[in-house]
Amino acid sequence: MFISVKKKKIKSTAKTPEATRYKILLAAFAEFYKNGFQGGSINRVFKIAGVTKGALFHHFSGKEALGYAVVDEVIGPLLLQRWLQPVEGADDPIEAMKGAFRRYTKEDIESGHFVQGCPLNNLAQEMSPLDDGFQSRIDGLYAEWRRRYTEALASGIKRGKVRPSVRPENAAALIVAGQMGIYGTAKSSQNKQLMIEAAEAMCDYLDSLRPNE
């Protein structure tokens, strides 16, 4: 080499902590979504995120903390946006639930995501009995979900949109559980048709909650 050009130190150390942290979070979400929490690898997480091990451990104190952050900061907001906001303040809760349900099952079938199931449900099944931190976080999300559906049904009863003999708590419990079951079934069968069938039956069930005219 003739002329020794001073290597411009690109060295994109970057110092954009929020962005770095979020890259890690998203990579961890994907890793745990695919391989589960126990099967997920921290080494793969930081490689996929394109950061170093040091950066990961700077932002998260360990695998557990990373998992908790995924629940709190990724899965929670996702749940809120997908399933809770659509029924919030809806005039006809049954219609709103069916709408959200049809929309997202369709989306997940088309994108192929359905074979990996619901991220929240996956973590719930794997980690709830093993780790209290996960258990309380996950149960908190489900409880909130049930609470809002219960409210929506109760206010639907008041406005004559839902049959008065329906007990909102029980129905909400079944709706949420059924949803988990449908996603779980679809995942284990890897069968779109089956998902559609179960979704139709769920819509039939929802319709059965309407007042007999």
Interaction between residue 198 and its own copies (CB under 8 A)? yes
**Residues in the chain, overall count:** 213
- Tell me the residue type at 21: R
Q: Exactly one of 48, 58, 169, 192 binds DNA (CB under 7 A); which one?
A: 58
Of 23 and 55, which CB lies nearer to its own copies in the complex structure? 55
**What's 212's DSSP letter?**
P
Q: What's the min distance (Å) between Cβ of 2 and its own copies?
A: 25
Residue of 142, 117, 114, 146 lying closest to 128 (CA atoms): 142
Interaction between residue 208 and its own copies (CB under 8 A)? yes
Interaction between residue 190 and its own copies (CB under 8 A)? yes
User: Please, are residues 110 and 172 in contact by the beta-carbon 8 Å criterion?
Assistant: no
Residue of 121, 94, 68, 118 lying closest to 203 (CA atoms): 94
Residue 105 contact, options its own copies, DNA, none, Cβ 5-8 Å cut-off depending on partner type: none
Q: What's the min distance (Å) between Cβ of 58 and its own copies?
A: 11
Q: What's the min distance (Å) between Cβ of 81 and its own copies?
A: 21
3-state helix, strand, coil split of the chain in percent (to 5) is 75, 0, 25
In the complex, the residues that contact DNA under the rule CB under 7 A are: 9, 11, 13-17, 19-21, 40-44, 51-55, 57-59, 61-64
